[in-house]
Amino acid sequence: MLFNSYLFVLCFLPLCVWGFHNKKKLGGEASTKILLIVGSLLFLGLSDVWSALVLLLSMGVNYVIYRAMVESSQKKKWLVLGLAVNILALLGFKYTGSSFVPLGISFFTFTQIAFLMEAYRGTIKRTSPVDYGVYVTFFPKIMQGPIMLPGEMQAQITGAFQKKAFDWEAAYRGFALFVMGLSKKVLLADTLGSAVNHGYTNLAALHTGDAWILMLSYTLQLYFDFSGYCDMAMGVAKMMGFSLPLNFNSPYKAENIIEFWKGWHITLTRFFTKYLYIPLGGNRKGKGRTYFNVLFVFLISGIWHGAGITFIVWGLLHGILNVITRWWQEKRGKKEKSKVMRLFCVAATFLYVNLAWVFFRSSSLAQACEVLKKLVSFDFERINRNFALCFQQDEFWYVIKVIGLDKYEWSVYLLMVAMLMVSLLIVFLAKTAARVSERMKPSFVNNVVLAVLLVWCMLTFSEVSTFLYVNF
């Protein structure tokens, strides 16, 4: 099931929020937890029933290993077994050419690895099968994260299930965050995605200007798609009394690649730092080892995203620049930069990230190289008309026709320019949706804006598309 669907918005979500806040009618805390697990499996199963079955099997195996580990004097052997089972399952499904890859396997696998690691370290209390099921399956995060640590969820399971009074303000802020995330996905990401798909399918017809717009469009699409999902997940969780960790914090405003990764997919960065970078030695064994560890982590990050060579190149591009940035910062020291220099650094980092995303999106190195060649070929022509038309939204095009602008040839480019400008303004000037929602309170203006956005998004559900990170 997708967040951006009638079934979820009109049926599943209201039932979950009502049921969670009416525990007594459902038989109490234990019954509500079981129903939440069942509902989460249903959420996944309605997209793909086999994925839900794989998740159930994975949970069963991991929980048995967990119990054996905490009750054994040879905890490390059980931990190694648990890590091997999870990693081999992930590799088997994603990297052996399997025709079936369970939805969310990367996220629920990392969630369970984190649980085994923290259980081995003794940082979490003993967990019942039901509480473990809630932690792993919790439907807002099951398919695309954010990746929660077990300690974060354990405290909330106790608090949320024992909470008696319904927090209307928290629910309202959660609803607002959900609508803002939905708007990012449906109104921005999907429109940009239509143009991106057309561009990559018809590269031969594109010129230099088209290629720059194509590259920028994918950069924006990926951000609005993934951050929109995470906003929706946080909003849904908040309506139910839970708090998911922030996964995006204005990454494209970063002045360097290190800052970028502090704002992009924050929980994945935290996972790799905590369970890979630090165990490898982190920065405790000299500069050379530190740089190697950084490169290795980004290599693994690239492989995690996909089996193709393009993902490895993408990971190494980020790793290499990360190492160079660390070296430069150590050499230069902490020196205050002028405003002009900070703007230049933001622009340079944003450009580099754009170029790296070309490899992330391309189906092969040859296709990525073709896009890069077009970027620097100086083959400037009028923007391809069919490419520009992909940015059109019917409701806006209707307005253009009503006011008579459609008779001008340049009118087909208006909405393309508007879409890109609005997207860039949101990325670089607007506050994050999470920050905006935290300050929102019920008011006539806020209610009207949220209602309009929600209805507008729902009217666009006829062109439902899945989320990009479901594939990873």
Q: Which residues are catalytic?
A: 305
Give one DSSP letter per residue of 46-94, joined into a string: TT-HHHHHHHHHHHHHHHHHHHHHHT-S-HHHHHHHHHHHHHHHHHHHH
- Dihedral sign for Cα atoms in the order 187, 192, 195, 198: negative
**How many angstroms separate the CA atoms of 218 and 197, rounded?**
9
Residue with tokens 């290993």: 65
Query: Could you give the CA distance from residue 217 to residue 225 in angstroms, rounded to a whole number?
Result: 12
235-to-93, 105, 169, 182, 207 alpha-carbon distances in Å: 31, 23, 12, 10, 41
User: Residue 104: left if φ>0, alpha if ψ -120 to 50, beta else—which one?
Assistant: left
Q: Which residue has the tokens 């982190």?
A: 282
Q: Are 157 and 135 in contact (CB under 8 A)?
A: yes
Please tell me the chain's helix, strand, coil percentages from 3-state DSSP, rounded to the nearest 5. 75, 0, 25
Round to whole Å and give the CA distance between 231 and 122: 32
Tell me the one-letter amino acid at 213: I
